[in-house]
Amino acid sequence: MNLEWHWSVPYIETLELQLTRRREILEGRQECIIIAEHPPTITLGKRGGTVLSTPPNTATHHIHRGGLATWHGPGQLALYPIFNLQSRKIGIRNFVCAFEQSILNLLAEYGIEGRRDANPGIWVENKKIASLGLDVRKGINIHGAALNISNAPKAFSSIEACGDPTVEYTSVEIELGSFDALPPSSYSLIQIGRDWVRHFQKQISSG
């Protein structure tokens, strides 16, 4: 399986790459995981979503994934597994559960207690720390999850999250107080991304 990194790449370019990888996997190419950090972007899922305001220099895209509106930007990691669920014999619900558990295990490794909620995503107490939305076609997934690492929660004030204007956000950095609480090897977004991939692969393999 290939691991591809996209740093400060416009969201739409990474989406086009995901679509290309899905076509290639249908033709027999190896599965891959894309890890990305995007410039400021608002995306609206296939059910739409509400944009309250559009900050300067922020792109907006309507895309075909589950979920409503979300924000992507610097300090946030997005993990996009382009996996052939059909050949792996993994149901979509099991895939979602494994994905969510990988985030919970990653947070636990850093000393943060996350939880699932009736609303999608991963939460720390009553604040959202990760969003998740998939698009499975012909048995192959694109899109994935976005985890707030060091981005400011105020970035989400431009959208209505989960269809609820009262939703608040948090990040790994906020929950820890600072990154001084992390092991020295985990200071960088790259290392956090590697840790996340490790937990994700373990969940998929065990599932």
Active site residues: 162
Classify the C-alpha dihedral 115-125-45-143 as positive or negative: negative
- What does the alpha-carbon distance between residue 149 and residue 122 come to, in Å, rounded to a whole number? 13
**Would you list the DSSP string of 9-45?**
--HHHHHHHHHHHHHHHHTTPPPEEEEEEPSSEEEEB
Q: Structure tokens of 4?
A: 């591809």
CA angle in degrees (0–180, nearest 5) for 158-106-167 = 25
